[in-house]
Amino acid sequence: MNRERIISLIVAVLVIISSFGIYKFTESKKVERTQIKVGFMYDGDESTPYTYNFIRAERAMKETYGDRVEVIERSNVPEDNADKALQELVDEGCNIIFSNSFGYGEYVKMIAEKHPEIEFCQATQSNGNVYPVLSNYHTFMGEIYEGRFTAGVVAGLKLKELIDNGTIDEKRAWVGYVAAYPYAEVISGYTAFFLGIRSVCPQAVMRVMYTNSWSDYSLEKEYAEKLIHKGCVIISQHSDTIGPAVACEKANADHPVFHVGYNQSMLDVAPTTSLCSTRINWEPYMVSAVGAVLDGVSIESRVDGNVHGQDVGAGFEKNWVQMLELNTIICADMTEETVDAVVDALINKQLEVFKGDYTGTDPFDENDTIDLREGYIENENSSAPTFHWVLDDVIIIDN
């Protein structure tokens, strides 16, 4: 055997050994257990609608498994303090840890790599299948664009009713959106909402203001008020507080104002202006993931959803996305029937949301564009949204 072949063989063997070593380091041993500790790291608490949805799922999990689970929580954890809070949950002996803020993702993955014996489940992140892929690090999210689009249909029907009865001119079909950050998750959400509006009210134009915070009641309320002052008739949001709903309910404007919510029903804080809300239901994933750890099987084998490697998501079809109570007193006629038809169409894959006579541009790269006449399939390969283009001419960024 010549020298070159010997070297090639040695290199090949080293690659195999190295790959096996990496796999063994990241592979967590699955063991059936009679009782486990479940950790939760939250960016808010029960007072913030986003975190409250996770707490609801946590309670459902406890009700399902009873004394078989012991829960340990860390609430109101800033992103720059995530590593400390995570380490506390590790030191407490948690067997599985859930974390709910996108900004936690990198910290959680770093800790997961050091503790392959613990399962880490990170909501809304997109790094579950990014190197290094860890068998004990998982990502999950509901395919919320479906709920956003459906909520947009509700808002569009109201706008159309106001135009048809002469309350507003079609040139005043303005929609305002209080957004957290210019991330794909947020852009995808408000685009789906806008396309839902346009499906029934093609005159609509939307203005977006970013708070650059997930949860800031005062700023969210202030930006909603600014959008109302600019003439927006419908206000919606991708932010964690009731601030925009309160702004709509207390608005003193020369035009009608209505609100569409996220994460929770806003009927209690905006009874005369809230049309509807949509939310992600975290219960199917979290209950199944804990059951998988108790039974000593892989999480992705147990969760009923669309599995992409270490990532799982689903929409209306698996009850991961829900429409909340319609305010039938103020919604346009036939709204309830239309919502049922839209949800059925989405479940049966008969409706393509991200398609139409629109072009879009990446807000950070003018050379990155999209033509929606060709369509775009959201959540095709991940539970986290990937649509990141702002629609040209019809969606205006106001700050």
Does residue 93 share a domain with residue 51?
yes
> The whole model's pTM is what?
0.91
Q: Are residues 349 and 229 in the same domain?
A: yes
150-203 confidence digits (pLDDT tens)? 999 999 999 999 999 999 999 999 999 999 999 999 999 999 999 999 999 999
Same domain, yes or no, for 221 and 308? no
Tell me, what's the pLDDT at 16? 35
Sequence-distant (≥ 6) Cβ neighbours of residue 389 within 8 angstroms:
187, 191, 360, 361, 362, 368, 369, 370
What does the pLDDT average to over 13-35?
A: 51
Indicate which CATH number applies to the domain containing 84.
Answer: 3.40.50.2300
Q: Residue 141: what residue type? A: M
Considering the domain boundaries, does residue 301 fall inside one? Answer: yes
In which band, very low, low, confident or very high, does the pLDDT at 20 lie, cut at 50, 70 and 90?
very low
Average pLDDT over residues 352-381: 97
Does residue 211 register a pLDDT over 80?
yes
**Domain membership flag for residue 232:** yes
Q: What percent of the chain has pLDDT over 90?
A: 89
- How many helices and strands, by DSSP H and E, does the chain display? 11, 17
Say what the pLDDT of residue 14 is: 37
**pLDDT confidence bin for 73, thresholds 50/70/90:** very high
CB atoms within 10 A of CB 207: 19
Query: What are the backbone angles phi and psi of residue 120, rounded to the nearest 5°?
Result: -120, 125
Residue 34 domain flag: yes
Burial 257-274 (b: 16+ CB within 10 A, else e): bbbbbbbbbbbebbeebb
Same domain, 312 and 332: no
d(CA 251, CA 150): 25
User: According to the model, what pLDDT value does residue 31 have?
Assistant: 77
User: Does a structural domain hold residue 12?
Assistant: no
- pLDDT above 80 (res 83): yes
- Same domain, yes or no: 290 and 383: no
Sign of CA dihedral 363, 372, 342, 234: positive
354 in a structural domain: yes
CB neighbours (10 Å) of residue 38? 27
Report CA-CA distances (Å) from 44 to 39, 54, 247. Answer: 15, 10, 22
**How long, in residues, is the chain?**
399
**How confident is the model over 345-362, as a mean pLDDT?**
97
Domain that holds residue 286: 30-142+282-317
Contact 83, 41 (CB under 8 A): no
Non-local (6+) Cβ contacts of 309 within 8 A are 128, 129, 133, 300
Number of folded domains in the chain?
A: 2
Q: Which residue, 296, 317, 338, sits at the end of a domain?
A: 317
pLDDT tens digits for 260-278? Answer: 999 999 999 999 999 999 9
Average pLDDT over residues 284-310: 98
| CB neighbours of residue 160 within 10 Å | 19
> Quick one: DSSP state of residue 101?
-
Round the average pLDDT of the chain to a whole number and report it.
93
Asked, for residue 268, whether it belongs to a domain, the answer is yes
Q: For residue 189, give the nearest of 386, 368, 393 by alpha carbon.
A: 386
Q: Is pLDDT above 50 for 41?
A: yes
> Helices in the chain by DSSP H: which ranges?
3-26, 49-65, 82-91, 105-114, 145-164, 184-198, 217-229, 243-249, 283-295, 299-302, 335-347
Q: Is 235 found in the same domain as 221?
A: yes
Q: How far apart are CA 280 and CA 313, in angstroms?
A: 11
pLDDT band for position 32 (cuts 50, 70, 90): confident
In a domain, 5, yes or no: no
Tokens representing 347? 């479940």
pLDDT band, residue 358 (cuts 50/70/90): very high
Mean pLDDT of the region 31-35: 87
Q: Do residue 343 and residue 209 come from a single domain? A: yes
pLDDT at 286 over 70: yes
pLDDT over 70 for what percent of the chain? 93
If asked whether residues 354 and 215 sit together in one domain, one would say yes
40 and 91, same domain (yes or no): yes
Residues 137 and 188 in one domain: no
CB neighbours of 250 closer than 8 A, spacing ≥ 6?
none
Asked if 107 and 181 sit in the same domain, the reply is: no
User: What pLDDT score does 307 carry?
Assistant: 98
Whether 70 shows a pLDDT value over 90: the answer reads yes
Please tell me which of 8-12, 48-52, 359-363 the model is most confident about, judged by mean pLDDT.
359-363
Q: 107 in a domain, yes or no?
A: yes
Together in a domain, 109 and 166: no
Comparing 284 with 240, which gets the higher pLDDT? 284
Place 29 in a pLDDT band, splitting at 50, 70 and 90: low
Spatial neighbors of 8 by CB under 8 A, at least 6 apart, are none
